[in-house]
Amino acid sequence: MRLVVDLNKCQGYAQCAFLAPDVFAMHGEESLLYDARPEEEQRERVARAVAACPVQAITADGLDRAGESQGASDVR
Q: What confidence tens digit (pLDDT) does each residue in 7-28 have?
A: 999 999 999 999 999 999 999 8
Share of the chain residues as helix, strand and coil, in percent rounded to the nearest 5: 35, 20, 45
Q: What confidence tens digit (pLDDT) does each residue in 41-71 have?
A: 999 999 999 999 999 999 999 887 654 444 4
Structure pTM? 0.80
Mean pLDDT of 28-33: 88
| Architecture of domain 2-71 in this structure | 2-Layer Sandwich (3.30)
